[in-house]
Structure 1
Amino acid sequence: MTRAIRIAVLLLVAALGGLWGAAFLARAPGEGLGASFARLVGGAAPSAGGVALPGGVSLGGPFTLVDGGGRTVTEADLRGKLSLVLFGFTFCPDVCPTELQAIAQTMDLLGAQNTQVRPVFITVDPERDTPAKMKEYVEQFHPAITGLTGTPQQVAAAARAWRVYYSKVTPPGSTEYLMDHSAFTYLMGRDGSLRALFRPGATPEEMAAAVRANLG
């Protein structure tokens, strides 16, 4: 990693840490951390189980990754449909499979409407998550989910676009590393703008309701 990239990563982590800290301190009684975060960056009150955000919020943007077949995928490929975007990694022991299962159940709840939605799982562990590994992993949850990976630089650029935090950690006594990462699910509009932000633990019913609200 070059010195410039290290500095960029440190600045991103510091900015995110400061914003999440401010969100924690600014929470209203009974308000979740995700809702407080969204409110600080210009979001509206929670809606349909997610944190509804205006289109002007700068989350999402240009990226270049590859899918399970090695085909290049960019932000342009997400246009024209709604997208449910989640960042994680295939060796994730808990939150990633839980959230992917919720997305899979959301797709099932949508029935025939799910053809208008593209679920996407983007790795934060490109060293281990090859295109073939991503394809094999996401197919365990739902055939519609697309797994995306790339070079470390490409993954870092995608994470910056969605303001995703991730960091390699090695648990005490372990020889294998894990990835510490944020785990929000992003609902993106047909035009690539952010429509809703779902906290970890949002139910499939909540996500399906938010998706239907944006299909019109």
Structure 2
Amino acid sequence: MKTAKLIPLYLLVIATAFLLSFFISQRETPNMQPDVLMSGRALPRFTLTNIYGERVALESFQGKVVLIFFGYANCPDVCPQVLRKYAELEQLLGPKASDVALIFITTDPFRDSPETLARLVEKYSSRIVALTGDWDELAEVWQKYHIRPLEKEEQAAFIAHSALIYIGDRNLVLRKILTPEMPAEDMLEQILPLL
């Protein structure tokens, strides 16, 4: 008889645990898809700091096709994959590589100093433009690109972030959004018409 009375209590505990885990998971994995309507619009402008401590504006890449990816130096999976794709694209482009800007913008301003990003990109290609900044200026860029990697107070070891590569034409207009799973050869096919 006592077991029958405890069943509703067990069900309530299980339901509460399920709901709690659902709400926590929703907070930890924010909606990271960009607004589809961004395509065909000017890439949102920014000015950030490169690995040499110099301020770099998106406009400085006018006349080049730009690829923009958001990630962080200690990322265990998708960021190294994208940086390898950047290096592969550079090889596949050959002499046309100078007409393409490969941009990596940090989602971890707490740890990704210019020096940290310099060590990261030297593993892949000296042509990768790695950019950082303080939290406030990066948060503004993240918002413009629909990226929500972390809250200002957080310094998590693993940072959820988008896994999209934004491609802008020579006039800095967004033309394509690609995923890191795409082979470098297929990415090249998407880039060549923009050159």
Q: Give the TM-score of the pair, scaled to structure 1.
A: 0.70
- 1:150-205 CA-to-partner distances (Å, cap 9, x unmatched) read 0001111111221123126xxxxxx9622110110111111111011002311101
1:81 corresponds in structure 2 to 64
Task: Indicate conservation of the 8 Å contact 2:70/2:163, yes or no.
Answer: yes
Question: In the alignment, residue 96 of structure 1 is paired with which amino acid?
Answer: C
Distance 1:156 1:79 in 2: 23
Count of equivalent residues: 164
> Which of the two has greater helix per residue?
2
Question: In the alignment, residue 204 of structure 1 is paired with which amino acid?
Answer: A
Q: Does 1:65 align with 2:48?
A: yes
Question: In the alignment, residue 158 of structure 2 is paired with which amino acid?
Answer: L
Task: Indicate conservation of the 8 Å contact 1:85/1:186, yes or no.
Answer: yes
Indicate the percent of aligned positions where both proteins have the same amino acid. 30
Superposed structure 1 runs of 4+ greater than 6 Å apart:
none
1:151 corresponds in structure 2 to 134
Q: Does 1:214 align with 2:175?
A: no
Residues 12-161 of structure 1: pairs in structure 2 closer than 5 A: 17=31, 41-42=36-37, 53=39, 55-56=40-41, 60-161=43-144
Question: In the alignment, residue 128 of structure 2 is paired with which amino acid?
Answer: I
1:203 corresponds in structure 2 to 183
Distance 2:169 2:79 in 1: 23
Change (3 A) 1:42 1:62: closer
Task: Indicate conservation of the 8 Å contact 1:166/1:181, yes or no.
Answer: yes
Distance 1:202 1:167 in 2: 26
Q: Does 1:193 align with 2:176?
A: no
Output the aligned Cα RMSD: 2.2
Partner secondary structure for residue 159 of structure 2:
strand
Partner secondary structure for residue 79 of structure 2:
helix
The structure whose Rg is larger is 2
Question: In the alignment, residue 200 of structure 1 is paired with which amino acid?
Answer: P
Q: Give the TM-score of the pair, scaled to structure 2.
A: 0.77
Task: Indicate conservation of the 8 Å contact 2:48/2:133, yes or no.
Answer: yes
